[in-house]
Chains A and B, each alone.
Chain A
Amino acid sequence: MTDPNTLSPPSLETHVAARDETFLDTNELVINMGPQHPATHGVLRVILRLDGEKVLGLECVIGYLHRGVEKIAEHRTYTMFNPYVDRMDYVAAVSNGLGYCEAVEKLLNVEAPPRAQYIRVILTELNRIASHQLWLGTHALDIGAITPLFYTFRDREEILKIFEKYCGARLTTHAFRIGGLQYEAYDGFEKDVKSFVDFVKPKVDEYEELLTTNRIWLERTRGVGVISGKDCIALGVTGPVLRASGVKWDIRKALPYANYKNFDFEIPTGQNGDTYDRYLVRMVEMRQSLRIIEQAVAGIPEGPIMAKVAKVMKPPVGEIYHSIEAPKGELGYFIVSDGSTQPYRVRVRPPSFVNLQALDVMCRGQLVADVIAVIGTLDIVLGEVDR
């Protein structure tokens, strides 16, 4: 539109005339969805190219929640940076903390004591359930079922209460420290966790009752946003999305960290790689998490909760990549140490960011309503995508 001779912007008249010319006979409708939109889970902006209601293609615009977390890390000591990771995936802050702490522990070549490991597993798995509950509520809300949201939030509250009692915070918990835990489990921690497990088991059935065999839910999710296992691997997609496509990859089993190898649990996989399979996989994962929690609570050993770590940490020169299975997929930390008190570089591999790449592949040829369903099923958190 810019005049190539003068390089001046087009006058308003030409601009309006050009638009009117194309307004009626255009077949493609370009719609901007977000960053203020009820279903984009925060500040994701999606530019849709539509043919009627059919999606011809889409483009994600991210960065509206960029806070430069990785850069901040370079100006903080290892300990000081720990609370910042909670602000990435703020619905699964405990997992973020676990990944970071373990990465630095690996760099320091220390290991958290067994008691701390058990409490870490319990809190992380509780957080996985909380994250999946939030996903389920918002996903169902996007598809139009408004009631599950309130059920899941009611039950998620119980998890947050445990977090609050344990470390004083509900969302951005900063629950773990490098080398173990700062706080001993409070009195009645085991009892609270056990009663939560008993409380939430029938509740998961309740969610399933509303949705799993609901005709409309089936029609809205089956065959929607299909992605093959091959595509998932090519795009680097991990977590429940990958497993729903039939690839049995879970870092808790594949490269055990913390003390997951001590627990007996199964990795659910899907076959079709559609939204319904991803839904089922996450529902089973909630139940499996409860299994892990039950075993962990039964087997908490006595002992110290903190390994011997220097007050001023100076990890040896070197680099480390450590990843854990966060609720949304592989959460990796790549830390380069130059031997000083501050990391030279921290690079986070956030699952949401990588999974979001698959949105275009999953949405092509589908309808507008499916884009919403697919954004929901990818379970992205923009705080983590943008960092």
Chain B
Amino acid sequence: MHDFLQQYVLNYLDSKGLTPGGAGNIFWATVYILLVFGGLSVAVIAMNWLERKILAHMQVRLGPMRVGPHGLLQPIADALKLLLKEDIIPAEADKIIFWIAPFIVVLAAFTVFVVVPFGPTHAITDMNIGILFMLGVSSLSVLGIVTAGWASNSHYPLIGALRSSAQMVSYEVAMGLAVVSVIMMTSLGSIATGLYGAGNIGSQASGTLSMIGIVQAQQEQGVWFVFKFFPLGLIGFAMFAIAMVAETNRAPFDLPEAESELTAGFHTEYSGFRWSLFFLAEYSAMIAVSSIAVTLWLGGWLRPFPGIHGPSIAIPHIWPPADPTAPTGALDFVFALFPGIAFLLLGAMCFYNVRRMPKHPLFKIQTVGLAGFGAVLGLIGLIMFIPPVRDRVGDIFWFAAKVAAFMYLYIWYRGTFPRYRFDQLMKVGWKVLLPMGLALLVLTAVFAMHGELWAQFTGAGHP
């Protein structure tokens, strides 16, 4: 076991090309599954707290403040409450389907993460049809929602489920078109292979569906795909960003659970733990689609400006990293410091808020708790400056930061926009996004096949 571990670490240091799960290694796949799902649960809990706090601050109120410092323990208290609640199944409900539905939704939302690459070597597995797998599995959740609405045997859930199915099916079309345009872009490079991906045949390569391959293509072309064929990449990204909000049933497309119309939509009749599963699934799905968007357009684990390195610099014991294949530019160094700085700033924020806590003796525990939390964050930040750690967390940090930006966007939407009406939603999906997607597809295809046209068109060099 120990030898194996050592061997693995050595392998990891030697070559960045190795994907632990991708090698078909059951052990590492299991470890990553545990890590990813543990991390995901923590992310959902954090997201719950963040959404309530950020939304509250947008709406001139404080949000949870009582359980833990600044309500930090509120999600845990809520989870406990939900677990202890009575699990009500309506008398006229179709019991088996009612029982299964939340599990289908959760299963679909979690399974997506099998192919999400958190770094060049951090993924449960790398499939050669990764993106297809993701789209396919994430659309399975509609099955759970429809069955939940149907099994409840009640009017509001039924309407919610009908809305949801129509909405998710329509927006998947636009989503798919945007994704195809990215896959075409991956065909431009020469080493867009992934682990099992096709490609690698000169500039007329056939592209890849592998999630890792797509990011590698962006790395190799030195540009995030959102800026590729400007503004084509941006349009595709915007389309996906709209469609993914609709796909996850969030504001302003939250019609299936429109509170003011359908009380709670498809999960009106659910309570306790089963309800919390829907909640978990919703937030996991948000993280999942954001991960797709990040991987496809925002360069996955790549740092900003992946094509610019700056002059090579060397600082004894600190830079360049131990990995001989890693870039050694000054800009690389600066960006390598970001994770540590980010955590230090979070810690500093906690300490700043410690000063602002009420000076009442009853608040002492909370104040100390907040200071402790800040200290932990600061410590993590400091650890992230240690070169071996620094070189290993960079990928995950950038990926997580981008996903977090999307999460913030979700909350921002919710605080700003009114809700679309059902027919308007369909109109946007079929009459705006679909034609746009088709045009985008054709244009991207033309430029991907005939790079010289793009060069003429823009006066730039061959892509």
Contact = CB atoms under 8 A, between A and B. Distances in A.
A71 interface: no
Contact of B418 (A150, A217, A368): A217
B386 to A, nearest CB: 43
Contacts of A210: 416
A143 B252 CA distance: 10
Interface string A14-53: 0000000000000001010000011100000000000001
B59 A147 contact: yes
Contact of B419 (A53, A147, A220, A367): A220
B417 A372 contact: no
Chain A, interface residues (CB within 8 Å), range = 20 to 34
Contacts of B416: 145, 147, 210
Given A31-B155, A53-B422, A368-B159, A216 B417 contact: yes
A150 B60 CA distance: 7
B78 interface: no
Contact of B421 (A142, A149, A220): A220
A146 B155 contact: no
B61 A39 contact: no
Given A147-B58, A147-B415, A150-B60, A142 B420 contact: no
A367 B258 contact: no
Interface in B247-292: 251-252, 254-255, 258-261, 263
Nearest to A138: B260
Nearest to B61: A150
Interface in B394-437: 414-424
A382 to B, nearest CB: 16
A369 B258 contact: yes
A161 interface: no
Nearest to A31: B155
Contacts of B424: 216, 219-220
A210 B415 CA distance: 10
A144 interface: yes
A53 B422 CA distance: 9
Given A370-B421, A372-B261, A144 B252 contact: yes
Interface string A241-262: 0000000000000000000000
Contacts of A151: 59-60
Contacts of A230: none
A348 to B, nearest CB: 29
A271 interface: no
A67 interface: no
Interface string A346-387: 000000000000000000000111101000000000000000
A210 B59 CA distance: 12
A367 B423 contact: yes
Contacts of B422: 53, 367, 369
Contact of B417 (A39, A145, A367): A145
Contact of A144 (B58, B156, B159, B417): B417
A140 interface: yes
A142 B260 contact: yes
A368 B59 contact: no
B119 to A, nearest CB: 37
A264 B188 CA distance: 70
Contacts of A369: 255, 258, 261, 419, 421-422
B261 A140 contact: no
Nearest to A376: B260
Interface in B338-395: none
Contacts of A370: 421
A214 B417 contact: yes
B260 A144 contact: yes
Contact of A146 (B156, B159, B414, B420): B414
A369 B419 CA distance: 10
Contacts of B259: 38
A19 to B, nearest CB: 11
Contacts of A144: 251-252, 254, 258, 260, 417-420
A29 B158 CA distance: 11
A196 to B, nearest CB: 17
A141 interface: yes
Interface in B80-99: none
A369 B417 CA distance: 16
Interface string B145-172: 0000000000110010000000000000
A224 to B, nearest CB: 8
B263 A37 contact: yes
Contacts of A146: 55, 59, 414-415
Contacts of B419: 143-145, 216, 220, 369
A210 B424 CA distance: 20
Nearest to B415: A147
A376 to B, nearest CB: 9
Contacts of A140: 418
Interface in A210-253: 210-211, 214, 216-217, 219-220
Given A214-B417, A219-B421, A219-B424, A368 B60 contact: no
29 contacts: A31-B156, A31-B159, A37-B263, A38-B260, A38-B263, A39-B260, A53-B159, A141-B260, A143-B260, A144-B252, A144-B258, A144-B418, A145-B416, A145-B417, A145-B418, A146-B415, A147-B415, A149-B59, A151-B59, A214-B418, A216-B419, A216-B420, A219-B420, A220-B420, A368-B261, A369-B255, A369-B421, A369-B422, A372-B260
Given A38-B260, A367-B423, A369-B261, 10 more contacts: A39-B260, A143-B260, A144-B417, A144-B418, A147-B416, A211-B418, A216-B417, A217-B418, A367-B421, A368-B261
Interface of A: 29, 31, 37-39, 53, 140-147, 149-151, 154, 210-211, 214, 216-217, 219-220, 367-370, 372
Top 5 A-B residue pairs of the complex, sorted by shortest distance between their CB atoms = A144-B419, A150-B59, A39-B260, A145-B418, A144-B418
